[in-house]
Structure 1
Amino acid sequence: MARHQLNVKEKTWIVKHMYRLEYPINVQRLWSKEINNNPPDRKTIRSLMHKFEQTGSVLNIDPPGRPVSVIGQETKDEVSSILKEKPRTSLRQLSTDLNISMSSVRHIYKSLGFKPYIPRLIHELNEDDPDRRIEYCETFLSLLKDDSDLMYRVIWSDEAVFKLNGHINRHNSVYWATQNPNVTIDQAMQVEGLIVWAGIRYQDVIGPYFFETTVTSQSYIKMLDDYFYPLFCDVPDNESFSFMHDRAPAHYASIVRDWLDEKFPARWIGRRGALDWPARSPDLTPADFFLWGYLKDIVYQKKHRAQGGESGSPRSPIP
């Protein structure tokens, strides 16, 4: 038997007794005893309580804020024009400028085929960097032709900066377009924060290792000697592997290059290595175009507060 629509008096009765009896089933039993044998279901009672706690009333009150507006073709054309001319305009700004609700703005941009694209962060490039990058890629592709398994025998290493407050909040840098524009943001990468090292190969990750301070040639060689190499020695067939790192100043120190020449003779990639690594090329290594983004998405899911205590201790390999 379908229940009739609850009136204001009945709703008030339910709210009063819910605060006293706490559970919907107790209210249902009291309703059957005092009113009739057709009490409202538990979902209705919970919904009524949620509404009362949100609005302070059992009446059907319109939600606060700008009412949902009727969408006309003129409004659609105006939204389309703004997004094409200023594709970085936020939805909130559109809602304010056009005096329409946020839900109407969302409905319009979806009906027009616009999608929000998040810009990618890239290193700033110098004038001659593109030629060096192309030269490196052509050399590496040539090596792959001679040895198709080379990709499986490279340990790609890198350091990344983890900050408690992001240097650029890309989620607030939306670019609206009907097709992916591949928007990028040039960013100077020398910023302060917690410096983390990791090595990645086709099968697993070695690291992370946390540096206590700025990476220097001494702290870097200590990490290689005390942390990385003991783990690397456990990698099967390790004598066939190559080691890659970028052109960071600490990597170019003579003690580091001598160490690599000894441990990876003619098998390391970097500045003055067997294969020279082009400057400012994070998109050419899996650590940058996958690993750090994946890890930072996890780390930055929640806001973290800075804490005191020991830092810089090495950690066990990521499985």
Structure 2
Amino acid sequence: MLTLAQRIYLVKCYGIGNVSYKYTISVFNKKYPVVHVSIPALINLLKKFNATGDVKDEKRKLKKYDEDDAATLVVLDSVHQNRKHLLENGLYKAFKPTILHTLEDGGDARRLEFCLVLSEKILKKPLFCKYLIFSDESIVTTNGVVCSQNNRMWATENPHAKIYSRSLRYKKVNVWCGVCYDMLDNFLLLSFDDVPLQIRNRIIYPQDGFPGHSTVTVQDLLNKKFSR
């Protein structure tokens, strides 16, 4: 495809002396030896210039449909009513997206390092995981978080669609859950008051990047309850 400058130069070469098409192309090739221009392409370019006074390609105009067209309304209504039926007949299946946290730089490397360290400790002490508190929390917000149960992606294969959520300041409620030593409870400190001291002294409470774990009051409380 010729550039705008090349098209203008072609028209100039032909219009200066009203020469033949072959001579025009030969003059053009001296300046642009790599670009190939055929005689039909030159003729079409000259016709366009004589008709419009411009060498640019015309933008294609999309066909406008009349909203009052009865045939158009019938087709659109049919597609809307039978959308699920049409998708299923086309071998499409419904897949729901997975909502993930946006990882920071170096997050993958830190996760891999944690897996290697944990695997090494398990080899040395098979019961090491018994004394780990596996905990996680979820934040219930009022900003219209996407519900993956109500979202489906229609496709022939699973697109593995993901929706990355943003951390914004909205009204929210924190829900926490912890698992340790074959026990599940939602009151961490109260439940561990009944745990034998020999087990409690071995308990390890890993902390992630949750903001509530980094406050001074929380750290002081955890240091009093756990030995490490």
Partner of 1:119: 97
Partner AA of 1:235 in structure 2: V
- Please give the residue correspondences for 1:58-73 in structure 2 after superposition, counting only pairs within 5 Å: none
Alignment-derived partner of residue 239 in structure 1? 201
Contact 1:251 1:257 in 2 (8 A): yes
1:148 aligns with 2:126: yes
- For 2:215, which of 242, 253, 256 is the aligned residue? 253
Three-state SS of the structure 1 residue aligned to 2:227 is: coil
1:247, distance to aligned residue in structure 2 (A): 2.0
The answer to whether the 8 A contact 2:200-2:226 is kept is no
Identity of aligned residues (%): 25
Deviations 1:231-251 (A, max 9, x none): 112235333322233222331
Distance 1:122 1:204 in 2: 27
If the length of structure 1 is used for normalisation, what is the TM-score?
0.40
Residues in 1 aligned to 2:123 and 2:194: alpha-carbon distance in whole angstroms: 29
Q: How many residues align?
A: 150
| Mapped pair 1:206 → 2:168 | no
Distance of 2:143 and 2:159 partners within structure 1: 27
- Aligned partner of residue 160 in structure 2, secondary structure: coil
**Structure 1 residues 165 and 128 mapped into 2: Cα distance closer, same or farther (>3 Å)?**
closer
Aligned to 1:158: 136
Q: What is residue 105 of structure 1 aligned with on the other side?
A: 86
The residue that corresponds to 1:184 in the other structure is 162
Query: Counterpart in 1 of 2:174?
Result: 195
Aligned partners of 1:206 and 1:228 also within 8 Å: yes
CA distance in 2, matches of 1:120, 1:247: 21
Which residue of 2 is the match for residue 138 of structure 1?
116
Task: For 1:1-319, list aligned pairs within 5 A.
Answer: 98=79, 101-102=82-83, 104-109=85-90, 112=91, 114-163=92-141, 166-190=144-168, 191-201=170-180, 203-207=182-186, 228-235=188-195, 237-266=199-228
- Cα pair 1:154 1:243 within 8 Å, conserved: yes
> In 2, Cα distance between the equivalents of 1:168 and 1:103?
22
Label 1:182 to 1:145 Cα distance change in 2 as closer, same or farther (>3 A): farther
Distance 1:206 1:229 in 2: 10
**Could you tell me the TM-score, scaled by structure 2's length?**
0.53
